[in-house]
Structures are given as structure tokens and as C-alpha cells.
Amino acid sequence: MPIHSPSRTGAVVARTLPDLTAALAGRDDVALVPTMGALHEGHRALLRAARAAAATVVMSLFVNPAQFGPGEDFASYPRDEEADLSVASAEGADVVFAPGADVVYPAGFAVSIDPGPLGGELEGRSRPGHFRGVATVVTRLFGLVRPQRAFFGEKDYQQLVIVRNVARDLALGVEVIGVPTVRDADGLALSSRNRFLSPSERERATTLSAALRAAGRLHAAGERDSALLLDTARTRLAMDPDYLELRRRDDLGAYDPNRPAILLVAARLGTTRLIDNLSLEDA
């Protein structure tokens, strides 16, 4: 794969569809990195993977109202566009697409994408409509940017699988590429929401990844019994999880002891909801 050098002049910011069309004119081999901003090292890893893979890197920056439910944190979701633009430029993004909601959802917008049954499981059970919102905005971004590749974090593993399903089933012509989760030194998966944790919540949050790793070690030692693996993880959690589930890794179908597996967890710490997962074969 050719390595392309980052742009030296900083990313072009496109806020409207004509801006975007102008910014993309004459560009092919486009990689898209969709984000909601408040960028951290996890987003940087996606931008680097995209930069290494494609001639043109487009980062979208849009806090998508359609993927937040009533009572969720849409209003308080962290926003810092100035910092995000400098991170995107530092990581060599060519274009930052930062549209307003009226650009993504213009008057008359009426279609949404059903993410299929997986959209109602795991995260979807706690967040009805979330993955419909994700699938719809990602499909629209794919239509607007027309990337050949798109990069998503394994941290949001169910989102990655659903976006892959959408791209495959609707034949969108986009290769969806997963990027490994970036973690703090104590194991906590980086998230824009971590800043909302109090010191004591931050400490309890480390038990999420510790619990996953404990089950991972047991799995690496040959244990395949789902109840034992789940109990090992559950006893290490400092909170009651929304869910703690073992699934097949490739498509998040029912756990099969003879196939690659993934352990997924979600929990609320105060008002902050965190998710994490671990591929057990990697443990």
C-alpha cells in the first residue's frame, strides 16, 4: 500500500454541499473517517490508518442528533471544533466536512436505514433507534463523500459490524475497515465521554477493561464455557452492567465455543454510559 504524505497546509473545512463538492473535485481514492468530534488518540488512530491507506482523507465532524435518544446526552455532548480542526490537520486530513444539521437533514428528508435485527440487540436494547440513526447518517455521509474506504473504531464494535452490514447489503461500494481500540495506560478505552467521569467513577471505570481481560486470560487458557467466562468477568466489575455478553466475533451472532468470540460490556457510571469489548482470541 502506498504511503501518502500528510498535507502541509492543513485541512480544508467544508460546511456545505457545494463546499464539499469543491473540496473533493478531482480527488479519487478517498478514505472517510466519520467522527462526532471531541477528538482523542482513538480518533487519531483512525486518521492515521486512513492517511496510510488513501490518497485523500476526509474526516466528518458531526454530532448526529438522530443517534441520540430522548434523555440522552446530545445537548451536553462535548464540542470543541477549533481543537478538532487542528488535530485533523496534524494527522494529515485533507478535508474536514463539518456540516450543520440542515445540510445533513435538509427539509423534506424522509428516508432512514433499518440496521436489521442486530440494531435491536446489545446497545440497541438500551438505546432504541440508536443504530437506525447511525446507519442513516453513515449511509448519507457515504453518499455525499463517495469514499472507497471508511474507518471505524473497534471500540464501538457493534457499530462497526452494523456499518459493514449496511455497506454490504446495500452494495454501497465502500470497504469498511476496523481500527483497534486505543486505551489509557490503565486499560480504560478512550472515549469523548470519559471527561465526564468523577475521580471515583474514573477509578471504577477501569474495572470494565480489567473484567474483560480476566475473561480473556481464562479463554486463552482454554476455557470455552460461557457461564464461567461471563462469571469471571462479572465478579470483577465494580458496577451492574447494562449487559455483559459473549458473542460470535464476525457477525455478533450467538456465542459458538468453536469460533472466534468477543465479550462486550456496557455500564453506567453516574450519568455517563461507557462501552468496551475484547476479542477473546487476541487475549
* Cβ-contact 115, 37 below 8 angstroms: no
The residue count for binding ligand AMP (CB under 6 A) is 17
Cβ proximity to ligand AMP: between 184 and 223 the closer is: 184
Q: How far is the CB of 46 from ligand AMP (least distance, A)?
A: 5
Q: Which residues contact 44 (CB under 8 A, 6 or more apart)?
A: 87, 91, 182
- CA distances to 38, 125, 128, 157, 228 from 250, rounded to whole Å, are 29, 20, 23, 10, 22
Least separation, in Å, of the C-beta of 178 and ligand AMP? 9
What are the backbone angles phi and psi of residue 273, rounded to the nearest 5°? -105, 125
**Residue from 140, 155, 219, 273 in contact with ligand AMP (CB under 6 A):** 155
Among 12, 24, 31, 46, binds ligand AMP (CB under 6 A): 46
Nearest by Cα to 233 from 218, 249, 252, 253: 218
Cα–Cα distance for residue pair 47/185, rounded to 1 Å: 21
Residue with cell 435518544: 69
List all residues 6 or more positions away from 83 whose beta carbon is below 8 Å from its beta carbon.
39
Residues 178-207, mask of contacts with ligand AMP (x by CB under 6 A): -x-xx------xxxx---------------
Q: Report the alpha-carbon distance of residue 240 to residue 53 in Å, rounded.
A: 40
Catalytic residue list contains 43: yes
Window 21-40: residues binding ligand AMP (CB under 6 A): 35-36
Three-state DSSP class for 243? strand
* C-beta closer to ligand AMP: residue 73 or 231: 73
Choose the stretch contacting ligand AMP; rule: CB under 6 A; options: 9-17, 174-182, 205-213, 253-261.
174-182
> Going residue by residue from 5 to 24, which x/- string records binding to ligand AMP, judged by CB under 6 A?
--------------------
Contact residue for ligand AMP among 68, 142, 152, 196 (CB under 6 A): 152
Q: Which residues bind ligand AMP (CB under 6 A)?
A: 35-36, 42-43, 45-46, 152-153, 155-156, 179, 181-182, 189-192
Active site residue ranges: 43
